[in-house]
Amino acid sequence: MFVRPFTVRRRGTRGPSSRGCRMSPNGSNPREAVFRSAFNPLSGRERARGAVRRLLGAVRAAPGAVSSFGRSFPSPPLGPLSFPFVAHHLPDLDDGPDLPLPRTVRGRVLLAAAGAPVIALLLVALWLTGGLDDAKAVQFKTAEPGKAVQNKLLKATLHEASVGADPDLGGYRLEVRAELESLADEPVPASQLNTLFKVDFGRKDLKAETMRVRLVRLPDTELGDLQPKMPEEVVLVWTLAEGDPADDKIKTAEETFGEDFLAEPDDVSAQLAEVDKAEITVTGAKFEPGFTDPAKRWWTDDKTAGVYTLPLEKG
């Protein structure tokens, strides 16, 4: 048979085997057989058998073997003709530092199967203990009445607290006489001060609702904006209602604007008769845009700045 020497390929064309090939029964071009027989001692079928043998050998090989492939594979004749075998190797697991992990595929599968439940258990434990949120400050910062507590927005000094009937709205209210001084550089609407103060009576059935701020020097006026760096004597007023303060679920539209809205305010006199002090927490503040509103405003950052325990004057 005439064997064509391997000539320089013309630019822009492919090799001779790509032009109008006829396929032989075992899937290869008869002309290819010429080259194959010249460079590869094994036929196609024999090479496939070799590959399967290699795979089985890798799985069966003992852990810690340096190169399982090299072991079970019949070592090829050395020399330039051996390069086709190297090209068919599976990737070598040997590079990289020596880790105490199983070398074999089966070993790794077993490790994963054993480790997954452990990791799942750890995740459950993490979730049960509160997840990755900031840990709440455990150290209580107690503040004496009359001593100032400061956060990023303001300096607050709470003096005394009293509870009594609300002549304007019916129901009952908690009033705390305090001094506020804003440390910001711009006026702050009083509505943004609401979340910075939290009231706890220590009872599950008594809670304080939205806070309003009244000026002492103008008894009929509610505070509009807290002006910067100007101490104001104020009265913080909370309407009291029944219910669990931890029950934070957001009211639906029907609940907020339905019959509840115009209902009679709660009669909490029974609970009030039993409490004689209130714990008022002043939290930290941060100045940030809202969730949907890009305008920046003041929010609580849920960290405690100070806790006042104030005795309640009744009446």
Determine if 218 is a binding residue for other proteins (CB under 8 A): yes
Nearest approach in angstroms of CB 43 to other proteins is: 40
Determine if 9 is a binding residue for other proteins (CB under 8 A): no
* Residue from 185, 248, 259, 264 binding other proteins (CB under 8 A): 185
* Residue from 90, 230, 244, 260 binding other proteins (CB under 8 A): 230
Nearest CA-CA partner of 171 in 242, 221, 116: 242
Nearest CA-CA partner of 179 in 127, 204, 216, 222: 216
The dihedral over CA atoms of 47, 48, 52, 57, expressed in degrees to the nearest 10, equals 0
202 within 8 A of 275, measured Cβ to Cβ: yes
* Residue from 37, 82, 221, 256 binding other proteins (CB under 8 A): 221
Determine if 202 is a binding residue for other proteins (CB under 8 A): no
Strands 296-314 and 142-143: parallel
Determine if 220 is a binding residue for other proteins (CB under 8 A): no
Nearest approach in angstroms of CB 299 to other proteins is: 17
Both tokens of 297, joined, read 């405003």
| SS3 call for 47 | helix
Nearest approach in angstroms of CB 11 to other proteins is: 7
Q: Of the listed pieces 66-74, 96-104, 142-150, 230-238, which binds other proteins according to CB under 8 A? A: 230-238
Nearest CA-CA partner of 211 in 277, 158, 142, 260: 158
* Residue from 134, 186, 248, 264 binding other proteins (CB under 8 A): 186
Q: Of the listed pieces 16-24, 33-41, 237-245, 293-301, which binds other proteins according to CB under 8 A? A: 293-301
Determine if 232 is a binding residue for other proteins (CB under 8 A): yes
Nearest CA-CA partner of 212 in 159, 175, 249: 175
Owner of token pair 């990289």: 96
Helix axes 105-128, 44-60, angle to 10 degrees: 50
What is the binding site for other proteins (CB under 8 A)? 11, 185-187, 217-218, 221, 224-225, 227-232, 294-296
